[in-house]
């Protein structure tokens, strides 16, 4: 009976001890178990899309900075904005306004001709008013630090020139030529967009020329455009030429101009 009593007492005191031990382990687990915190979402919604309209004329700009077309950057969650000023500008609600390399054109008060007059006596081309919005014509100047020596030296006259060449409805602006080089092969200056189909840019005073090699004597647009000094600026003046297949080609009655530098 004493043996049975000892066994019973051992069982009685063991149960609370096991329960207490389990309770203590639970507490330790609750203390050491890491707390799951919700991940903060990354805000990539702010992007900066800068686009600049391009307008204008030839490219003679020393101070013309590169065009800021569309720019979009995506940054990861751990990017530190303080490390890069550009990042602050990118996410700014009012980023610094970039300098455009596009030049606008406007109607000149000089050199107007009468509609219907012949451009060259004995040739079919006539002067005619244009029928499109000139604000859509954009001249982009890509050449930076343009200098006087980058321009074309004229065969006649004192004004240096730039050459405007339209091919397959794309107009390029070129500068200085090397010996025996074609006019469109000179220094790349810029381009023109927004011209209606079959239109190109021609010299204001002598918009047409006739090649001696052309047996038919066809009048073509003279793409050599004079560059003039206007105070501290450089300016070009020109006319619009339209090729009419099977009909009379036309030259704008008005002269147009643009400050290019």
Residue 220 has pLDDT above 50, yes or no: yes
Q: Read off the pLDDT band of 242 (50, 70, 90).
A: very high
Residue 112 domain-assigned (yes or no): yes
CA-wise closest residue to 150 among 183, 186, 185 = 186
Given a cut of 50, whether residue 8 has pLDDT beyond it is no
- Residue 188: which residues within 8 A CB-CB, separation 6 or more? 142, 143, 172, 173, 174, 175
The predicted structure's pLDDT at residue 158: 85
Is residue 219 domain-resident?
yes
Residue 134 has φ and ψ, to the nearest 5°, of -70, -15
Provide the number of structural domains found in the chain: 1
Mean pLDDT score, 136-146 = 87
Q: Is residue 6 part of a domain?
A: no
Residues forming beta bridges with residue 238, ordered by sequence position:
203, 256
Mean pLDDT value of segment 83-88: 36
pTM as predicted = 0.60
* Of 92 and 132, more confident: 132
Does residue 37 belong to any structural domain of this protein? no
45 lies in a domain?
Answer: no
Question: 22-45 pLDDT, tens per residue?
Answer: 444 444 444 444 444 444 443 433
Domain annotation covers residue 77 = no
Find, among 112, 89, 98, the residue nearest to 237 by Cα: 112
Residue 84 lies in a domain: no
pLDDT of res. 100: 58
**Owning domain of residue 128:** 102-259
* Dihedral (CA of 120, 125, 131, 132) sign: negative
pLDDT greater than 50 at residue 193: yes
Domain-located, residue 210: yes
Q: What is the pLDDT of residues 92-114, one digit of tens each?
A: 343 333 345 888 899 999 999 99
Q: How confident is the model at residue 233 (pLDDT cuts 50, 70, 90)?
A: confident
In this predicted structure, the answer to whether residue 141 has a pLDDT above a threshold of 70 is yes
């Amino acid at each position: 009976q004493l043996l049975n009593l000892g066994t019973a007492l051992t069982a009685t005191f063991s149960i609370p001890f096991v329960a207490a031990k389990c309770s203590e382990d639970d507490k330790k687990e609750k203390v050491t178990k890491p707390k799951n915190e919700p991940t903060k979402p990354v805000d990539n919604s702010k992007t900066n899309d800068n686009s600049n309209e391009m307008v204008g004329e030839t490219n003679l700009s020393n101070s013309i900075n590169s065009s800021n077309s569309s720019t979009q950057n995506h940054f990861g969650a751990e990017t530190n904005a303080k490390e890069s000023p550009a990042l602050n500008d990118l996410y700014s609600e009012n980023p610094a306004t970039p300098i455009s390399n596009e030049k606008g054109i406007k109607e000149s008060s000089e050199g107007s001709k009468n509609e219907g007059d012949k451009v060259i006596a004995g040739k079919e081309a006539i002067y005619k008013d244009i029928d499109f919005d000139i604000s859509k014509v954009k001249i982009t100047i890509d050449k930076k630090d343009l200098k006087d020596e980058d321009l074309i030296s004229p065969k006649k006259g004192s004004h240096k020139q730039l050459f405007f060449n339209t091919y397959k409805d794309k107009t390029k602006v070129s500068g200085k030529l090397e010996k025996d080089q074609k006019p469109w092969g000179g220094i790349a200056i810029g381009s023109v967009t927004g011209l209606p189909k079959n239109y190109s840019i021609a010299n204001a005073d002598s918009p047409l020329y006739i090649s001696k090699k052309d047996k038919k004597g066809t009048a073509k647009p003279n793409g050599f455009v004079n560059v003039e000094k206007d105070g501290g600026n450089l300016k070009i003046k020109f006319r619009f030429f339209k090729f009419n297949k099977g009909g009379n080609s036309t030259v704008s009655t008005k002269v147009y101009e643009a400050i290019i530098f």
